[in-house]
Chain A
């Protein structure tokens, strides 16, 4: 049986050991109190983490200059969606220069996997993945986002316009 001989004398005092261990904690506490901007904790509801431009958040339907939807109801996003969460109802437009437009554009946000394939499939830059993080909501609320929520919600300030112009697109034959 091996017996460990503990050193006698000063090392028997436990209080210095505790204080030495607490020094690390106290040092971090004082550093955090005096250097608030270098603190790594993000105080979430007050301050937000800055996302990159490529962040895939809640969807945005872009609008034209007159405020109507840019979407032409070509169903490419609904066909390409791996989760099958997009449902579009198309209709004929009164204006003869516009072929089709969506009466209803609904995304079931509980099925969506935020992969961004709808954004890649769209030929007219009508749907984008926005900069907001995914939402949490109480069960029983409306989880099927319609056009009002996707294109004209209050965070977008009346809709996001695409930089690609329609006339330029037609002249290039796209």
Chain B
């Protein structure tokens, strides 16, 4: 009967462990892979990631990808501050994580702009290596995020083990 005395925040946090509302800020080839993982072949709604919301204040999962320059860094910080807390952040691809494809700009910032790492702007929870990563990697990052939000074996693992036995 503990659910009778449960607080509203506890109920919401329990529901949000397996249900994410994404807000995608991505450019370049990583955004194609993110779109691919949301479409029919790699359907990320199976894993609990909802449709892309129209409002960042309703989202709690920020997906970053692509080259982050000074202007985009300001936008990302502005959006992240408005998003619902607790906010999970997934950084996808080598550009957003370390900026290594544009390492000439890291060494010497020029008129073409400069590259900023995602971890310098917002606290990143999950890193997905790759340039760009496969949609499977993006799906496994969501599984890792759910493992971080709720430690222990997930429902999917329990069910697959029960089916195997």
Q: Chain A contacts of B46 at CB under 8 A?
A: 41, 43-44
User: How many angstroms between the C-alpha atoms of A42 and B137 in the bound complex?
Assistant: 13
- Contact A115/B131 with A42-B41, A44-B139 known, Cβ cut-off 8 Å: yes
Of the 9-residue stretches A91-99, A136-144, A154-162, which lies at the interface with chain B? A136-144
- Contact A138/B125 with A46-B160, A49-B136, A112-B94 known, Cβ cut-off 8 Å: yes
Does B41 lie within 8 Å of A135, measured CB to CB? no
Give the bracket for the number of chain A residues in contact with chain B.
20 to 34
Say whether chain A's binding surface is mostly helix, strand, loop, or mixed: loop
Say whether chain B's binding surface is mostly helix, strand, loop, or mixed: helix
- Contact A40/B40 with A48-B136, A138-B126 known, Cβ cut-off 8 Å: yes
Give the bracket for the number of chain B residues in contact with chain A.
35 or more
User: How many angstroms between the C-alpha atoms of A79 and B97 in the bound complex?
Assistant: 22
User: How many angstroms between the C-alpha atoms of A82 and B94 in the bound complex?
Assistant: 12
User: How many angstroms between the C-alpha atoms of A137 and B40 in the bound complex?
Assistant: 25
Residue of B nearest to A43 (CB): B46
Q: What sequence of 0s and 1s flags, for each residue 16-52 of chain A, a beta carbon within 8 Å of any chain B beta carbon?
A: 0000000000000000000000001111111011000
Residue of A nearest to B137 (CB): A134
User: How many angstroms between the C-alpha atoms of A135 and B156 in the bound complex?
Assistant: 19
Q: Chain A contacts of B123 at CB under 8 A?
A: 139
Does B100 lie within 8 Å of A85, measured CB to CB? yes
Q: What sequence of 0s and 1s flags, for each residue 1-31 of chain B, a beta carbon within 8 Å of any chain A beta carbon?
A: 0000000000000000000000000000000
Does A114 lie within 8 Å of B125, measured CB to CB? no
Task: Provide a sorted-by-A list of 17 A–B residue pairs whose CB atoms are within 8 angstroms.
Answer: A41-B42, A44-B46, A45-B140, A45-B143, A83-B100, A85-B100, A109-B129, A113-B100, A113-B131, A133-B134, A133-B140, A136-B144, A137-B144, A138-B125, A138-B127, A138-B144, A143-B129
